[in-house]
């Protein structure tokens, strides 16, 4: 039996010192602004639940007070009843101890129960705000980022925040209150023993500072590597057909292992340094107990303090170091959550798609007459379009041709206002596009793209996406006009057939027919076609072309063409080269000119000969 060659679960690797130093340098400039600012923003979400938060804080006060009262009562029992051998009041004291620890347990349960609700409401708001922000961001934002990495923000990072809120907020409150209360009672009982106990605090502070200086950047590296890993997984899952077609499985697995190892080792070192804290704290706890026991014994022998005070102090010394220990542990968890929260807030703070002017118009109808007048557009300081001028009259079909990178898709993006042009003017029925609300403009547009996108839903719901208030009869009519009705009816569940996200189960041509039906149902005045018939078999292509002709009738249509035989009937053909119009006219006019278009057309004829 053939065994598979797996790596060992973990291979020791040195700390990623270069990445750590880069992250530490970045943190020096960002820490004051980011960490404090991020915690403040998380707190602003928590305070939306003021009523429940006040109840939680009240329960924290009660549990902390009961936690302090318990050891004090035990110490009094030793001095008043055990040392004196007078058990007369011991029974009542035990009753009080039962009440104290009962209240402590009840308050701890309630504060945890209510805090879970606050945490869930907080991450619900964060997740909803982040998702809404995704839909307010410009298309350019998504063009520059891995989709899987963005998905990691709304899943892993927000889950990290949720876990921290559930674990850390109450613990931090409790630890601070316990620390303050313990110091006050210790000072009342014995200032000298309090001073001895606090001798370990500077050592604790220096140790924690040394550790957290490394854990913070390592947690951020861990979150970054997790985001990159998620992005890579999403990319490879979506591209399985391409990977298998080119037999790149081994390369993809190797690259995944690199991402996985980066995450493994950054996580290993983050957890390793974080694990130092409880070990250091335990060692200092034992040192503190030893000092308290030694000094307390000497003071008790001299009659300065009682045995009960030593017992109380020993317990309070433990309670004094325990909050410090818990605060240091929670600080590590908090750093991890802050790293995730920063990634979430970075998206929320991204510049949104430019808002419409308050004077922007809602247009109820349009003739579809669209004019470009000396339009210039640059993407990240790189000129894409230069002095573009043309007019598409109502009902005309305008086709764009040219080599890859000539600017065809950019023109479409400007028409739909996915981008705003830098200078010149684009007008619709004489109104500048910037003076029309985006939602109003796009309401009169429909797109049939080269890559047909369908949602994980029924065919009926996918077609209805073009007009949500459409009846079943409207949907069926649109499908018939798109030549999609016959094949839909042959499916096991007809229009109620559920499609996967990539539309598997039906052919590429059938997916395209569904998107055409969706566009027909939307009944747009302006239509955008991005080579909707590419990579389709001949029979289906004829069906699609017939459906497109029916769809384009009476509408202003913009076609991005790669195969010139599909646009010979266009009213106007615009040839682009390096962002400039070099020729425009009808097919016959351009052929007669025997220029660039003629050469391109002749070359395609030769290729298909």
Please give the radius of gyration of the chain, using alpha carbons only, rounded to the nearest integer. Answer: 35
| Number of C-beta neighbours around residue 357 at 10 A | 11
**Whether residues 430 and 569 fall in one domain:** yes
Strands 423-428 and 431-432: antiparallel
Residue 176 shares a structural domain with residue 235: yes
**8 A C-beta contact, residue 49 and residue 116:** no
CA–CA gap between residue 193 and residue 195 (Å, rounded): 5
Domain boundary among 314, 348, 382: 348
User: What's the pLDDT at 416?
Assistant: 86
- Based on the domain organization, do 92 and 53 belong to the same domain? yes
Which residue is listed with tokens 């073009």? 466
Same domain, 444 and 337: no
> CA 38, 44, 45, 46 torsion: positive or negative?
positive
The reply to whether 330 and 393 lie within a common domain is no
| CB proximity list for 585: less than 8 A, separation 6 or greater | 572, 573, 593
580 versus 145: the higher-pLDDT residue is 580
Residues 426 and 341 in one domain: no
Q: Does residue 110 share a domain with residue 77?
A: yes
Spatial distance between the Cα atoms of 586 and 592, rounded to a whole number of angstroms: 10
The bridge status of strand 397-401 relative to strand 556-560 is: parallel
Residue 139 lies in a domain: yes
Q: Which of 159, 158, 511 is nearest to 342 (CA)?
A: 158
Higher confidence at residue 120 or residue 540? 120
Neighbours of 485 (CB within 10 A): 19
φ, ψ (nearest 5 deg) of residue 363: -105, 125
Residue 578 lies in a domain: yes
**Which strand (E) or helix (H) includes residue 311?**
helix 307-348
308: CATH: 1.20.1560.10
* 465 within some domain: yes
Assess whether 287 and 391 both reside in one domain. no
Confidence of residue 3 (pLDDT cuts 50, 70, 90): very low
How many other β-carbons are positioned within 10 Å of the β-carbon of residue 273?
21
Q: How far apart are CA 233 and CA 237, in angstroms?
A: 6
Structural domain including 100 reads 17-348
Does a structural domain hold residue 1? Answer: no
- 143, 199: one domain: yes
Q: Is the CB of residue 306 less than 8 Å from the CB of residue 300?
A: yes
Lowest mean pLDDT among 107-116, 156-165, 349-358, 533-542: 533-542
Question: Does residue 141 form part of some domain?
Answer: yes
Query: 416 and 336, same structural domain?
Result: no
Helix extents (H) in 434-583: 438-443, 459-464, 472-481, 485-490, 508-522, 538-552
Lowest mean pLDDT, pick from 298-302, 472-476, 493-497:
298-302
Please tell me the distance from the alpha carbon of residue 402 to that of residue 406, in angstroms, as a whole number: 6
pLDDT digits (tens, 9 = 90+) for 368-386: 899 999 999 988 778 889 9
In a domain, 353, yes or no: no
Residue 126 has pLDDT above 70, yes or no: yes
Q: Looking at the 3D structure of the chain, how many domains does it have?
A: 2
Instruction: Clarify whether residues 191 and 273 are in a common domain.
Output: yes
In a domain, 357, yes or no: no
Asked whether residue 483 falls in the same domain as residue 590, the answer is yes
Of the listed ranges 1-15, 221-235, 307-321, 590-604, the one predicted with least confidence: 1-15
Q: How many of the other CB atoms lie within 10 Å of CB of 503?
A: 21
For 293-349, the pLDDT digits (tens) are 777 777 777 777 777 777 777 777 776 666 766 776 677 677 777 877 888 888 888
Considering the domain boundaries, does residue 283 fall inside one? Answer: yes
* Confidence at residue 365, expressed as pLDDT on a 0 to 100 scale: 85
For 195-239, give the DSSP string. Answer: HHHGGGHHHHHHHHHHHHHHHHHHHHHHHHHHHHHHHHHHHHHHT
Predicted pLDDT of residue 37: 80
Identify which of 94-103, 116-125, 366-375, 510-519 has the greatest average pLDDT: 366-375
pLDDT of residue 476: 92
Residues 64, 178 contacting (CB under 8 angstroms): yes
**What CATH number corresponds to the domain at position 544?**
3.40.50.300
């Amino acid at each position: 039996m053939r065994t598979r060659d797996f790596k060992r679960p973990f291979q020791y690797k040195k700390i990623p010192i270069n990445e750590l130093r880069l992250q530490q340098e970045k943190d020096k400039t960002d820490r004051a602004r980011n960490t404090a600012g991020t915690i403040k923003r998380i707190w602003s979400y928590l305070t939306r639940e003021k009523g429940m938060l006040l109840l939680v804080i009240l329960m924290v006060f009660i549990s902390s007070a009961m936690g302090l009262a318990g050891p004090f009562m035990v110490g009094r029992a030793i001095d008043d009843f055990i040392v004196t051998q007078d058990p007369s009041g011991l029974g009542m004291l035990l009753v009080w101890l039962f009440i104290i620890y009962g209240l402590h347990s009840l308050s701890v349960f309630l504060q945890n129960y209510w805090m879970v609700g606050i945490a869930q409401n907080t991450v619900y708001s964060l997740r909803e705000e982040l998702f809404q922000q995704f839909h307010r961001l410009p298309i350019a934002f998504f063009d520059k980022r891995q989709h899987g990495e963005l998905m990691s923000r709304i899943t892993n990072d927000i889950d990290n925040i949720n876990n921290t809120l559930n674990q850390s907020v109450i613990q931090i409150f409790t630890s601070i209150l316990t620390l303050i209360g313990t110091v006050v009672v210790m000072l009342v009982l014995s200032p000298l023993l309090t001073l001895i106990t606090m001798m370990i605090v500077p050592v604790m502070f220096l140790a924690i500072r040394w550790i957290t200086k490394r854990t913070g950047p390592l947690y951020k590296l861990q979150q970054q590597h997790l985001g990159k890993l998620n992005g890579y997984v999403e990319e490879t899952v979506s591209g399985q057909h391409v990977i298998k077609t080119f037999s790149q499985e081994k390369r993809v697995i190797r690259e995944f292992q690199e991402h996985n190892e980066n995450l493994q080792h950054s996580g290993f070192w983050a957890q390793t340094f974080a694990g130092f804290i409880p070990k250091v704290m335990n060692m200092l706890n034992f040192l503190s107990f030893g000092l308290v026991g030694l000094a307390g014994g000497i003071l008790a022998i001299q009659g300065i303090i009682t045995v009960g005070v030593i017992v109380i102090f020993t317990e309070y010394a433990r309670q004094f170091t325990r909050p410090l220990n818990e605060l240091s542990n929670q600080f590590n968890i908090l750093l991890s959550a802050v790293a995730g929260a920063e990634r979430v807030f970075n998206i929320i703070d991204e510049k949104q798609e430019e808002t419409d002017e308050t004077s922007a118009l809602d247009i109820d109808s349009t003739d579809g007459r669209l004019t470009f007048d000396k339009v210039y557009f640059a993407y990240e300081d790189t000129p894409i379009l230069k002095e573009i001028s043309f007019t598409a009259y109502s009902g005309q079909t305008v086709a764009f041709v040219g080599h890859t990178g000539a600017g065809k898709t950019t023109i479409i993006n400007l028409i739909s206002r996915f981008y705003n042009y830098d200078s010149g003017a684009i007008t619709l029925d004489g109104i500048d596009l910037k003076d029309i609300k985006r939602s109003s403009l796009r309401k009169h547009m429909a797109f049939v793209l080269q890559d047909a996108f369908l949602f994980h839903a029924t065919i009926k719901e996918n077609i209805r996406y073009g007009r949500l208030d459409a009846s079943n009869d409207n949907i069926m009519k649109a499908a018939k006009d798109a030549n999609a009705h016959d094949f839909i009816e042959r499916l096991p569940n007809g229009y109620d057939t559920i499609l996967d996200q990539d539309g598997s189960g039906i052919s590429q041509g059938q997916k395209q027919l569904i998107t055409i039906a969706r566009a027909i149902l939307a009944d747009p005045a302006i239509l955008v076609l991005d080579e909707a018939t590419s990579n389709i078999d001949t029979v289906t292509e004829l069906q699609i072309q017939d459906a497109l002709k029916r769809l384009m009738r009476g509408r202003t249509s913009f076609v991005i063409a790669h195969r010139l035989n599909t646009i010979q009937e266009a009213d106007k053909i615009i040839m682009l080269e390096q962002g400039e119009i070099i020729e425009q006219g009808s097919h016959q006019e351009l052929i007669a000119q025997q220029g660039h278009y003629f050469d391109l057309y002749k070359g395609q004829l030769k290729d298909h000969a």
